[in-house]
Amino acid sequence: MNHHLHYNYHQRMAFAALFLLLLPFFFPNRFGPLGRASPSMFSEWNAPKPRHLPLIMGALHRQISIKQQYDLWSPLAIQGWKSCVQITKTPSMPKIPQGYIQVFLDGGLNQQRMGICDAVAVAKILNAILVIPHLEVNPVWQDSSSFTDIFDLDHFIFTLRDEISIVKEVPSEYSWSSREYYATGIRATRIKTAPVHASANWYLENVLPVLHSLDLLMFSYGIAAIAPFSHRLAFDNLPTDIQRLRCKVNFQALVFVPHIKALGDTIVHRLRHSPGKLKASDSEFLRKRMDDTDRAVAGKFVVLHLRFDKDMAAHSACDFGGGKAEKLALAKYRQVLWQGRVLNSQFTDEELRNQGRCPLTPEEIGLLLAALGFNNGTRLYLASHKVYGGKARIITLQKLFPLLEDKKSIASAEELAMVEGKASLLSAVDYYVSMQSDIFISASPGNMHNALVGHRAYLNLKTIRPNMALLGKVFLNKSMEWSNFQQAVLDGHKNRQGLIRLRKPKQSIYTYPAPDCMCQA
């Protein structure tokens, strides 16, 4: 008998039957309807077989106590901190602004969100008028959505009306100061040298003189464009009122446009009130377990941010089980997009996993959720862009959580029409739904993870932060039994479910809002 599995005969037979049942799903590119190799067998991505089969079997038969359910879903206790973004001194608009500030923001939605907060702070530091930030087209997401496509501009301006002046576009005399103008040559009014995490003094010493500079006709420029601008303002050694202003922008001024909020509210309502439907393919075993779901969790849902796209997979340089074809494809992607400059690629997969530097696969995040105590009656909303490998990659996650939903499964094509094909708007919907969820968990640290961890901490909402170092090690242990895995997960996540963590030097104010954005109650 295989001493690593410790299953009795009937359990092993059930396991074999389950594997045969799922074979077409795990190998959709390799097997046709009768098991023949398909023409796409040698395509870039071939669906990998499950990497943790013994744990999957244990998870499918998991027993969860009522106390576990109660503890897991209970809201966070009050932790002695409250939101606090009011400026320490009475705001007063400057009588004579120094000029206009433009910024051009790279990255996806959440990186741009942080850039907007920093832009407001820089405008305040310089006593300048802020032109609504320009959002660049991200080379990965290819979304040209503007500030006004995503955020409620009138609310933004109104909320900050006592702090800085904001204009929707540059005045006619500065119409030449455009993105196209700065893309065609070196310009005296463009600042390209802003260092990462620049101090307030750097802006006063390097940008303010540009606003005051005179051209050959002795006219003051009166405008400065800062690009690139991502992460260009320090988190430390700034006046308290500037820090609080950044918090005010992030947590009060930036709200999504009405149609994004309406779609988000529709999704949240259906997650809370619509009964989940099991597919005909779900086993009778799962149906019976569904009937046993604790009524205490009715109407609650958890959001899983699963960023498992090709960009993430390539940049991590980890092995995700897709075989030689996948490894070659991701290596080529790294070479094309980053000219091979990915530090992780110098390490082996085992080294990366031991260091906790590999994002969790859909299979692994499913096992984590199961070990934490989520049962197969959990309403699970998948906040994600495209999953690398498509539906076959998440089949194990779906088997563990049959009530898995995403935007396309829970909303109609007509309801999604205004956001379809626009990565930033789709991300905004997911952000909104994530903020309404009872629990949020992310499988991949990144900008959305950081933004939501901080925003939910600010509102004292439960957020589970995966212990990546622990999980990397336990998933390397192929002989670990379910009971030991479950105990390791529970022990490793006791203090990772939303406890306030005070920001340390150099850490982001947007991920750790206390104490800069919060006051002790």
Query: Is residue 153 scored above 90 in pLDDT?
Result: yes
Query: Is residue 275 scored above 60 in pLDDT?
Result: yes
Distance CA 53, CA 195 (A): 48
Q: What pLDDT does 90 receive?
A: 53
320 versus 34: the higher-pLDDT residue is 320
**Residue 463 parent element (H or E):** strand 463-464
pLDDT-derived band of residue 30, with 50, 70 and 90 as boundaries? very low
For 381-431, write each residue's pLDDT tens digit. Answer: 999 877 888 888 899 999 999 999 999 999 999 999 999 999 999 999 999
Q: What pLDDT does 311 receive?
A: 86
DSSP, collapsed to helix, strand or coil, labels residue 207 as: coil
Overall pTM > 0.95: no
Query: Is residue 114 scored above 60 in pLDDT?
Result: yes
Q: Which long-range contacts (C-beta less than 8 Å, at least 24 apart) are formed by 264-268?
A: 264/429, 264/432, 264/433, 264/436, 266/411, 266/415, 267/381, 267/407, 267/410, 267/411, 267/429, 267/433, 268/433, 268/436, 268/437
Domain boundaries of the chain, sorted by first residue:
258-520
Distance CA 443, CA 208 (A): 42
pLDDT-derived band of residue 164, with 50, 70 and 90 as boundaries? very high
The answer to which of 152-156, 290-294, 374-378 has the lowest mean pLDDT is 290-294
pLDDT-derived band of residue 48, with 50, 70 and 90 as boundaries? confident
Average pLDDT on 304-333 reads 89
Query: Is residue 103 scored above 90 in pLDDT?
Result: yes
Which residue from 32, 36, 45, 7 is spatially nearest to 333, judged by alpha carbons? 45
What Å distances lie between residue 466 and 5, 371, 455, CA to CA? 26, 12, 17
Q: What pLDDT does 214 receive?
A: 63
Residue 222 backbone class (left: φ over 0; alpha: ψ -120 to 50; beta: rest): left
Query: Is residue 337 scored above 90 in pLDDT?
Result: no
Tally of helices (H runs) and strands (E runs) in the chain: 23, 13
Q: What pLDDT does 25 receive?
A: 43
Query: Is residue 462 scored above 80 in pLDDT?
Result: yes
Query: Is residue 169 scored above 90 in pLDDT?
Result: yes
